[in-house]
Chain A
Amino acid sequence: MSEKITITEDSVPGLPRGVKLRFDQQRDQWVILAPERLFVLDAIALEIVKRCDGEASVAEIVNDLAETFAAPRDTILKDVGALLQDLADKRILAA
């Protein structure tokens, strides 16, 4: 049986086999390709997902984003946590 993933600052998120981040040239957008699913990413989601490399922790990703976009860490942590938990619940994120 598979276990439910709960995203915390210590989680190390990555895309599992069968989930791919791709640029869709025809429609000029970034997408996640997954089993019989297609998720179109907005600019914020893309910045988060492309940092999910299976090496950086959520805390490190949040620090990086806070620095890159000069935004409050708390706000970013909330957004990142919500997005990653949603992807995990859809079974398209490993952590």
Chain B
Amino acid sequence: MTAPGFPLAVLAELTHRCPLQCPYCSNPLALEAAGAELSTEAWKAVIAEVADLGTLQIHFSGGEPTARRDLEVLVAAAAEAGLYSNLITAGVLLDRARLVALAEAGLDHLQLSFQDSAAAGCDRIGGYKGGFEKKLDCARWTVEAGLPLTLNMVVHRQNLANLPEMLALAERLEARRVEIAHVQYYGWAYLNRAALMPTRAQLEEATAVVEAARERLKGVLVIDYVVPDYYARRPKSCMGGWGRQFLNISPAGKVLPCHAAESITDLTFDRVGEKSLREIWLHSPAFEAYRGTAWMPEPCRSCERREIDWGGCRCQAFALTGRAGNVDPACALSPEHEAMQALASAESAKAAREFTYRTRKAGEVAAQMIPERLV
């Protein structure tokens, strides 16, 4: 195997604290407590180290990254290290003064989440009353500060009917980009799958809406569209390949190949400070486990797409089959593919289950449950 390149981007999950409780949160079920979070100095050291590795972009995320009072300091550290910085926020804790301070500290871009196109749905799905109005303010202040604004809309069976209004909202708020992202089913979303999974017809309609909007809004609004794996024929190129372009630092400093990697319970992860990031990236067993193509089973190993999709998603293979090294069931060549599609069809056809909202308590309970698998 040729030596790996170095990561292009790093996701810095500064905290798991968040005022919202979205039932598809990408954080692990077992949420880190505030007391376990890395210090300002430790994060500054991480920033310097990732810049030295040749990383170009840093995404400040969470939880809600603005819950950290030192965010401005970390944004300034990223700017000083020459990193392009992106803030991924729910927007409800920001006021205008803080947004200006972040812009002045050198923030390059802000990505703001909306859980739906109007207040009732947005506040219900996010589990945060009054959130929608605060998000509108945040969007306005971002544009006022001259920062590029991206809206992030996670879509599922309970808000897909409002997709045209979501796109109109992005246009009205003068976003340069909008991400329409179908839920990816790991962790919290896996737990809430039966409340979130759209029907195939809903998916097809959404795709048609996006395609028409892309044509109509060319040069006005860039639309990124993330499709759901459960109705796919070929898997996504998850993270552009395991340990190939991307690394993730958890609030407590665990170094992960992706934000969901802790769901693969038979992997262990190194922590920042214990070893250099260079050492972890190049040699840690968790990064080496599924890097490249040597780990692949058949039919992946001899597949002509093996260096296009890199075998799809390890977390999904683990969630659905119990083994991260199995073929991603999103691929039509997986023995579990039909069962996966049948599961999606069956769940989406039934009445939606109640959400289990993302709280530390619910996560502790859910983490103890025995996960349902296809095999």
Residues of A within 8 A of B (CB): 1-5, 16-20, 22, 24-27, 31, 33-36, 38, 88-91
Q: Report yes or no: A2 in contact with B108, Cβ–Cβ below 8 A.
A: no
Q: How large is the interface on B (under 10, 10 to 19, 20 to 34, 35 or more residues)?
A: 20 to 34
Given A33-B57, A35-B86, the answer on whether A91 and B219 have CB atoms closer than 8 Å is yes
Q: List 9 A-B contacts (CB under 8 A).
A: A2-B176, A2-B221, A17-B147, A25-B54, A26-B53, A35-B108, A36-B109, A36-B150, A91-B148
Q: Is B288 an interface residue (CB 8 A)?
A: no
| Chain A proximity mask over B107-134: 1 for CB below 8 Å, otherwise 0 | 0110100000000000000000000000
Question: Which 6 residue pairs are nearest across A and B when measured between Cβ atoms?
Answer: A26-B54, A18-B148, A4-B219, A33-B84, A91-B176, A35-B109
| Chain A proximity mask over B228-251: 1 for CB below 8 Å, otherwise 0 | 000000000000000000000000
Q: Is the interface of B mostly helix, strand, loop or mixed?
A: loop
B103, closest chain A residue (CB): A17
Q: Which of B42-59 contact A (CB under 8 A)?
A: 53-54, 56-57, 59
Shortest distance in angstroms between B84's beta carbon and chain A's nearest beta carbon? 4
Given A31-B56, A90-B222, the answer on whether A17 and B176 have CB atoms closer than 8 Å is no
Identify B177's interface contact among A3, A20, A91, CB under 8 A. Answer: A91
Q: Which of B77-128 contact A (CB under 8 A)?
A: 82, 84, 86, 108-109, 111
Q: Is B309 an interface residue (CB 8 A)?
A: no
Residues of chain A contacted by B174 (CB below 8 angstroms): 1-2
Given A4-B220, A17-B147, the answer on whether A33 and B108 have CB atoms closer than 8 Å is yes
Residues of chain B contacted by A25 (CB below 8 angstroms): 54
A-B contact count (CB 8 A): 74
**Measured between alpha carbons, how far is A95 from B149 in the docked complex, in Å?**
18
Q: Is B137 an interface residue (CB 8 A)?
A: no
Given A1-B171, A1-B172, the answer on whether A38 and B56 have CB atoms closer than 8 Å is yes
| Chain A proximity mask over B143-154: 1 for CB below 8 Å, otherwise 0 | 000111010000
Q: Report yes or no: B220 in contact with A20, Cβ–Cβ below 8 A.
A: no
Q: Report yes or no: A89 in contact with B218, Cβ–Cβ below 8 A.
A: yes
Q: Report yes or no: B222 in contact with A18, Cβ–Cβ below 8 A.
A: no
Q: Is B8 an interface residue (CB 8 A)?
A: yes
**Measured between alpha carbons, how far is A36 from B148 in the docked complex, in Å?**
11
Identify A5's interface contact among B82, B177, B219, CB under 8 A. Answer: B219
Residues of chain B contacted by A90 (CB below 8 angstroms): 222
Residues of chain A contacted by B84 (CB below 8 angstroms): 20, 22, 33
Residues of chain B contacted by A34 (CB below 8 angstroms): 109, 148
Shortest distance in angstroms between B247's beta carbon and chain A's nearest beta carbon? 14
Residues of chain B contacted by A24 (CB below 8 angstroms): 54, 56
**Measured between alpha carbons, how far is A33 from B150 in the docked complex, in Å?**
15
Residues of chain B contacted by A19 (CB below 8 angstroms): 148
B175, closest chain A residue (CB): A2
Identify A2's interface contact among B54, B57, B82, B220, CB under 8 A. Answer: B220
Q: Report yes or no: A27 in contact with B5, Cβ–Cβ below 8 A.
A: yes
Most buried by A among B57, B59, B146: B57
Q: Is B6 an interface residue (CB 8 A)?
A: yes
A31, closest chain B residue (CB): B56
**Measured between alpha carbons, how far is A42 from B347 in the docked complex, in Å?**
48
A16, closest chain B residue (CB): B148
Most buried by B among A3, A27, A35: A35
Given contacts A22-B56, A26-B53, A38-B56, 17 further A-B contacts (CB under 8 A): A1-B174, A2-B174, A2-B176, A4-B218, A17-B108, A19-B148, A22-B82, A27-B5, A33-B57, A34-B109, A35-B108, A35-B111, A35-B176, A36-B224, A89-B218, A89-B219, A91-B219
